[in-house]
Amino acid sequence: MHRVGIIPFDTRDSDVALLFVTSQTRGRWILPKGKIKPEETHIQACHREGFEEAGVKGVVLEDFPMTVVVTKQTEKGKREVPVTYYPFLVTEQVDDWPEKDRRQRHWALIEDAPRVAYREDLLPLIKQFDDLRTWITEAADRCRPERQEALTPAP
């Protein structure tokens, strides 16, 4: 079944950082994703998954959907699933969120992301995001709230 996910990110000057969460079963660093509920749009599902899995709110950059096939571990073994990810400008990160007890969060500069991301299926996605970085950050700058505290750690 097709899923949607987000690539949570923030920028500071020319730096771009991505937010990873741990998977529930094996604790590996992944990006938030999930099934679309029957009444939801892709964008609504992105907001819900971002908050449930990572405790973040923000802006979905819907002009840059990226679909990749990821390998999902199920009770019946490994299964390939298409996931459409959207860049997600994080504007708020809360300390208390629905899956806080089951997941950890980790910000990584995009240059370090390939070493953080567990799944090889995420590497082409991160590369595609990086290839589109100029346009994604321009779009993010246009929709960023005026006063925003930096969410990512100072370099």
Write down the pLDDT at residue 147. Answer: 47
Give the DSSP letter string of 49-107.
HIIIII-EEEEE-TT--EEEEEEEEETTEEEEEEEEEEEEEEEEE-S--TTTTT--EEE
Write down the pLDDT at residue 25. Answer: 78
List the CATH code of the domain at 3-143.
Answer: 3.90.79.10
Q: Which of 11, 61, 54, 57 is nearest to 33 (CA)?
A: 54
Write down the pLDDT at residue 4. Answer: 97
Write down the pLDDT at residue 70. Answer: 85
pLDDT tens track, the chain, 155 positions: 789 999 999 998 889 999 999 988 778 899 999 999 999 999 999 999 999 999 999 999 999 999 999 887 777 888 888 999 999 999 999 999 999 999 999 999 999 998 898 767 799 999 999 999 999 999 999 987 664 555 555 55
Write down the pLDDT at residue 20. Answer: 96
State the Cα–Cα distance between residues 94 and 105, nearest whole angstrom.
Answer: 11
pTM recorded for the entire structure:
0.89
**Marked catalytic residue, from 39, 49, 52, 146:** 52
Is 52 noted as a catalytic residue in this protein?
yes
